[in-house]
Amino acid sequence: MTEVTPLPRHVAIIMDGNGRWAKKNKIKIALGHRTGVEALRAIIRESSDIGIEALSLYAFSTENWKRDPSEVEALMGLLLEFFTSEIDELDEKNVCIRILGDKDGMPQKQRLALINAEERTKNNTGLKLNIAINYGGRAELVRAARSLAAKAAAGKIKPEDITEKTLSDELYTRGLPDVDLLIRTSGEMRLSNFLLYQCAYAEFLFPTVLWPDFSLEDYHQALEAFAHRDRRYGGRNS
């Protein structure tokens, strides 16, 4: 495949459409999600191979707990399976895993698997793989505001010390570049509370393909489309 430049430093993906894919194929939703995991494995590998710096995937939002208990259970099972079965390969590939979201609100087994994945890969220097689990963008901002308020109340900082940098340092994505490219599959055109602060200048792409069908070719097309975007950050390019 020809090399696409410039590559986005940070790609974020909302992997939407597993349910519709299952319905279309007349199979159970859980199998739709399972096929979705296959798609995400391929995208992680490719991102690592082509040198994407950071990849953020929306796996489970704070709102997803409202789904049918059997679907939540299936997703929890897939998460546990993923973090148990993929960890060796990801570690070998020098991938550094970070969980975005509230791990403490997760069931115990999953919580331990997430902590283990982060611990085991924390010194890896390759792809920064961020998986958003029990994540909400507004909750992330509230958490950051509370932390800064606590520091101010303790006299450690003054209100005027709070800058975009100190605020972003309180986010789960601390130290990562802003999102350059956000892809949401299935044709839905919403951010759904994902990386609200980090997407301030992101380019958005909404391919209509359902997530389990999202192929490496689709990914390369998205990267190609990104490479042709004219990014102005509020300024003017002559």
Contact residues for ligand FPP, defined by CB under 6 A: 15-20, 33, 36-37, 40, 59, 64, 75, 78-79, 82, 131, 186
Q: Give the C-alpha separation, 124 to 34, whole Å.
A: 27
Annotated catalytic, 16? yes
Q: What CA–CA distances, in Å, run from 209 to 39, 94, 124, 217, 218? A: 12, 30, 33, 12, 9
Asked if residue 59 lies in contact with residue 92, where contact means CB atoms within 8 angstroms, the answer is: no
CB of 31 to ligand FPP, least distance (A): 11
Measured from the CB atom, is 4 or 139 closer to ligand FPP?
139
Measured from the CB atom, is 15 or 144 closer to ligand FPP?
15
CB of 144 to ligand FPP, least distance (A): 24
Annotated catalytic, 68? no
Asked if residue 46 lies in contact with residue 216, where contact means CB atoms within 8 angstroms, the answer is: yes
Residues in the chain: 238
Which one is catalytic: 16, 18, 134, 180? 16
CB of 172 to ligand FPP, least distance (A): 15
Which one is catalytic: 18, 25, 49, 64? 64
Question: Residue 230 half-sphere exposure, CB side, CA atoms within 13 Å?
Answer: 5
Residue with nearest beta carbon to ligand FPP: 19
Measured from the CB atom, is 18 or 62 closer to ligand FPP?
18
Residue whose C-alpha is closest to residue 35's, from 25, 45, 50, 44: 25
**How do 181-184 and 128-135 pair as beta strands?**
unpaired
CB of 71 to ligand FPP, least distance (A): 8
Q: What residue type is 26 in one-letter code?
A: K
Measured from the CB atom, is 166 or 192 closer to ligand FPP?
192
- Active site members: 16, 64
